[in-house]
Amino acid sequence: MTGRYRADPEAAIEHYSSRESIDDEFGLQLLLLRNGRIVVNPAFPSSQGSSITRVTDPLGQEYGKALSEADESGLIVEHLATDPSDNFTFRIKTNWAKRADGHVFSAGWIDGETDVESTLTKRQKAVGTVIKARDRLLANGYEYTVAHYNTPASIDDGEYYIIIAAPPDGNIIADATRHLRLGTKLTDVEASDDAELGQKILALEEGERLWTTHQWPHPETGLEKRRHTYATRFARFYFISGYYEDTPLDAARAYVNEAIEQYRKDPVAAKAYYESRESIDENGLYLLLLRDGTIDVNPTFPHAVGTDITWRTDPLEREYGRALAEADDDGEIVEYLIPVPSDGFTFRKKTAWAIRADGLVFSAGWVDMETDVESTLTKRQKAIGTVIEVRARMQSRGLRPAIVYYSTPESITDEYYAILAQREGYIVADATRTDLQLDANIKDFEASDDPNLGQKIAAVGSGETAWITHLWPNPVTGQEERRHTYVTRFLSFYIISGYYEAEPCIQPVDGSGTHAGSWDNSCVSETRAKDADGGGKAGEQYYARFYTFTLGEESDVAITLHSDEDTYLYLLDGHGKGGSVVAENDDVDGDNRNSRIEVRLDPGEYTIEATTYEARTAGSFNMQVDVDAPPPPPVEKYKAISSGAKHACAITVSGSIDCRGDNSYGQVSERPTSGSFTAISSGDDHTCALRDDGEWICWGGITVP
């Protein structure tokens, strides 16, 4: 080539610009460049004079720049190129390029056998669609290209199509989908979620590229889908393509179909691949392979291989394992909750696609990482979830790390914890009981109301589950409470969790207020029968009700218990029935029926026990609780003060009035809230003040004006 060019440059350019110069056997043709611009390209004659330096292929390879920078030593440049003789299909092209006499001479051959288009991603196909349109324009001219891209035949795979807009105003001249009417200006093109879509494209300069995401009708369904649009400007024309975002179900089906194909080609190699974490794709999809209801492949939970899935349920007690195992050759969508190892084993919603093929069930699914499901679970569901999380940790991280974790306080969430015991019943993990030796056996467990608790737990068989109700210490309150224990057997281990039932005899109260209640034999005092000094008799039952409250700061607390029965009142430290007595009272000022406690308390939790003096006394009562925290430090100083019988009022340095104490007659609440005052005086149940303009005002028991 260089020899012919040196002998007669003009004749050489004329020859190599003709299609007669293309080698018939290998398809070789000259690409001649000068200063990065195309001088000769017989396959794409309209490209002469255009710059090649910014040209890339669908893979993003900057082959144009590489060719233009070839030196005298020469270099090999590989890229994907369209083959006009094969309907502009992308093929691998290998070029030899060398600089000589201020030009770059290049020629290359095309691999016509290897299929590369099927390996392209959706993004790469969208870029490739624009490159094909550009090459059709360069090879066949304007009229052919516009006509082609106005036909449905130009739409590839149902979603890859070209929209062409002409300069200078961006008038649409080609759109095979017919969504945009020909002649529409880009300035008028809007997406339902992007009113500036057309303006963004119109702003492109020659050679610039743009990616933008928006909603756009799909050519097959006419329904809007999320679309990633790719636009560029070439030869002053706007070329627009893009791809539609697959739904998670589309991706799961494609992943499963690929796995089935790989298993049919080479089962051994496929199994090895899908067992590895390398098989987990960028969307978190991985293969769950089932053989006769047994897990054969699961790269996220490798220790689950070989275990039965059919009996498994999620925290909502949905039998997802059976549903997956029973999938037929039509396929099935199965939804369930799963603990996600990469998210601290938080439960998330998983939607799986499962289909039977060649005697196996192939399944893959996606996880919703945005929606919070754990906060919606009931206490029962959380207890089941705790056991499922134990299994997940065993199957994901291994047995030893799981045992170590469930021996630490970090494994306890509120009242939910797990106890693990091996086949013979010996406990290997229990973070709630530091006094429990790890060689203790669950068979020896006794509840205060069920001495056979341990035997019931030990009777649970492999794959079975059981619920047992009994009294048990709550790690949150430290008190014995009614517990619903959930037990299962997995990998020969007992896994035990549960939840505590709210004590019907105990009611929380918040601050001051009046509470009505009644006594009967459903709620019994644990303190009264032991209080011989207060008249209690050992062995007797005293009916009681309990009220818990929490103080955030030191406070004065008054509790008054009224009833037609003879009452007795205790104030206990802590939450629940078993706390130590802080204060107690039988009668108020010689009244032989009602009880009252007045005490200043430190911050903390307390329990009021409202009971009776005599044993087995039923009846109704009213209880008044008054909590009076010390007043906060004044925000400003005072210049005058006066007190009445049970209230006091003061004037601040700014002239406003502040009152505190008894408000029976409005002594506090009816004080003036505006104006500036200079003097103040209080009576028993009223106060008067002198305003700085000479007027006076009274409130409370006396109202002036």
pLDDT digits (tens, 9 = 90+) for 439-449: 789 999 998 88
What is the signed CA dihedral for 60, 62, 63, 69, rounded to 10 degrees? -170
From residue 588, how far is each of 142, 519, 568, 598 by CA, in Å? 105, 20, 10, 11
User: In the numeric block, which tokens belong to residue 166?
Assistant: 């002409």
From residue 403, how far is each of 343, 394, 411, 421, 465 by CA, in Å? 19, 8, 10, 10, 20
- The reported pLDDT for the residue numbered 437 is 58
CB contact at 8 A, 40 and 48: yes
| 680/594 same-domain check | no
User: In the numeric block, which tokens belong to residue 92?
Assistant: 């691998």
Where helices occur in 181-247 by DSSP H, the ranges are 197-202
- Tell me the residue range of the domain where 645 lies: 638-700
User: In the numeric block, which tokens belong to residue 242?
Assistant: 């893009």
pLDDT digits (tens, 9 = 90+) for 1-45: 666 778 788 888 889 988 888 876 777 888 889 999 999 999 898
pLDDT digits (tens, 9 = 90+) for 109-153: 999 999 999 999 999 999 999 999 999 999 999 999 999 999 999
User: In the numeric block, which tokens belong to residue 446?
Assistant: 């006794």
| 386/353 same-domain check | no
pTM tops 0.85, yes or no? no
In a domain, 633, yes or no: no
| 132/94 same-domain check | no
| 267/241 same-domain check | no
What is the enclosing helix (H) or strand (E) of 322? helix 320-325
Tell me which amino acid residue 372 is: D
| 592/664 same-domain check | no
- The reported pLDDT for the residue numbered 590 is 60
**What CATH number did the domain enclosing 551 receive?**
2.60.120.380
Could you give phi then psi for residue 275, rounded to 5 degrees? -80, -20
Question: Among 600, 628, 656, where does a domain finish?
Answer: 628
Q: Quote the DSSP letter at residue 197.
A: H
CB contact at 8 A, 415 and 500: yes
- 101: number of Cβ within 10 Å: 10
- The reported pLDDT for the residue numbered 284 is 92
In a domain, 620, yes or no: yes
Please confirm whether the linkage preceding 168 is cis (ω < 30° from 0).
yes
| 575/614 same-domain check | yes
| 253/222 same-domain check | no
Please tell me the total count of domains within the chain. Answer: 6
In a domain, 275, yes or no: yes
Where helices occur in 413-549 by DSSP H, the ranges are 453-458
Tell me which amino acid residue 501 is: E
From residue 191, how far is each of 185, 224, 682 by CA, in Å? 14, 10, 73
Question: Among 92, 120, 148, where does a domain finish?
Answer: 120
Give the N- to C-terminal CA distance of the chain in Å, as an integer: 115
| 106/37 same-domain check | yes
User: Low-confidence residues of the chain, pLDDT below 50?
Assistant: none
- The reported pLDDT for the residue numbered 93 is 96
- The reported pLDDT for the residue numbered 382 is 97
| 82/101 same-domain check | yes
- The reported pLDDT for the residue numbered 230 is 98
Give the relative orientation of helices 267-275 and 248-265 as an angle to the nearest 10 degrees. 140
- The reported pLDDT for the residue numbered 170 is 95
Question: Among 120, 135, 168, where does a domain finish?
Answer: 120
| 395/362 same-domain check | no
- The reported pLDDT for the residue numbered 221 is 78
Give the integer Cα–Cα distance in Å for 349 and 340: 10
- The reported pLDDT for the residue numbered 539 is 93
Could you give phi then psi for residue 340, rounded to 5 degrees? -100, 115
pLDDT digits (tens, 9 = 90+) for 390-434: 999 999 989 999 999 999 999 999 899 999 999 899 999 999 876
| 451/476 same-domain check | yes
| 573/545 same-domain check | yes
- The reported pLDDT for the residue numbered 631 is 64
From residue 146, how far is each of 151, 163, 176, 237 by CA, in Å? 9, 9, 10, 11
From residue 532, how far is each of 69, 432, 528, 529 by CA, in Å? 103, 35, 8, 7
Tell me which amino acid residue 676 is: S
**What CATH number did the domain enclosing 488 receive?**
3.30.450.20
